[in-house]
Amino acid sequence: MYDKILFTGDFFFDYNTIPDDISRIGNWIRENKFKTIMNLEGSISDPDPQYAIEKRGPNLASSQAAALVLKELNTVGVSLANNHMMDYGEYGLKSTLSVLDKNDIKHTGAGLTLDEALIPFTIDTGNIKTGVLAFGWDVEETRYASEKSAGCAPRKKDIIVKAVSDAKEYCDRVVVCMHWGFEFNRYPMPYDTDLAHSLIDAGADLIIGSHPHCVQPYEVYKGKTIYYSLGNFYFGSKRGMFTKKFNEKIANQPDYGIIVIYDPVSEKTDTRLIVYSRKENESAISDTGKEDILYPLPALSEKEYYKSAYKARNNSTPMLTANDKINEFLIRKLYTVYSIKKAVRKLIPKRLS
């Protein structure tokens, strides 16, 4: 009997020891003989201020104990393409790559050059070879790699389509991990659904999304499943900081994530909930309640879907479309707002400590 692959959402770990809830989750994973692949949100490095980059959001770095947790969860590979991987620059990335390599954990989505960032890792299950690729989005502060500089694999359609096509030449299955969309969008933007369809058309067999910090609907397109966002998996001491409320049966969506069980042989997927209890300050796997969190992408007209997605979001960011020119305008407008906010912050005197 071959092992199945378990995909999780965002993982960040800033504790120095392995908590009991991690041990219980790890036991469940090993009992089911799953090979875990997750989005490693940020570097595994010392949070040295001299290497911290300037950005809108916080600078994240997992503790060295994160490596022990990854092993505890039977992690065989990680996606590094996200908006926190380069928070401590090349220093943080090099530290992360070193830790992962020492622990025999495969990685994709970031490297010292663009070519390195685009190299997929492969997992063998049964007689099937599965290739995994990962990409992040610069609008949400993912730092892109270039021919001569370190960074993450970019959310650029032509680059991703080629990478998928190339991987398909020697892999039986290709999984694409996308760190995309805006935080707290309950539905994927048309900008992302359009890209997802293009990736399936190029040969992708499964798409795993992350970044919004809440679960988004899934879609089956041409027989292939797209999970637009798995939400949070485990965010260490910061789990209780996600307090965005949605007008739904379960209001505090960031407390819930989805894990995907993938069988590369049959290409079937199954899901479970990962639930964070604020009272117990613990996370646990659950077999019930996911119908209130994860459901199919609504079958609506383009106009109706746009309105529904716009209304369901819990942020002030634009709802990007499948039209590149409109998106360019909306993103320029968004950057203008960011620039004004940055200028205002500089004008406001810092409080005396």
The model's pLDDT over 98-118, given as tens digits with 9 standing for 90+, comes to 999 999 999 999 999 999 999
| pLDDT for the residue 350 | 56
What pLDDT is recorded for position 128?
A: 97
Number of Cβ within 10 Å of residue 334's Cβ equals 16
What pLDDT was estimated at residue 243? 84
pLDDT computed for residue 349 by the predictor: 64
Domain boundaries, the chain: 4-315
4-315: which CATH topology?
Purple Acid Phosphatase; chain A, domain 2 (3.60.21)
pLDDT the model gives residue 306: 95
**Nearest one of 33, 38, 17, 35 to 274, comparing CA atoms:** 38
| Radius of gyration of the chain from its Cα atoms, rounded to whole angstroms | 19
Predicted local confidence at residue 353, as pLDDT = 38
Confidence (pLDDT) at 351? 52
**Confidence (pLDDT) at 278:** 94
Chain centroid offset of residue 261 CA? 16
Q: What is the spatial distance between Cα 196 and Cα 202, in angstroms, rounded to a whole number?
A: 10
Q: What is the pLDDT of residue 161?
A: 99
348: exposed, middle or buried (Cβ count in 10 Å: 0-12, 13-18, 19+): exposed
The bridge status of strand 256-263 relative to strand 224-227 is unpaired
User: Which residues of the chain are under the pLDDT cut of 50?
Assistant: 352-353
Nearest to 204 by CA among 217, 187, 188, 223: 223
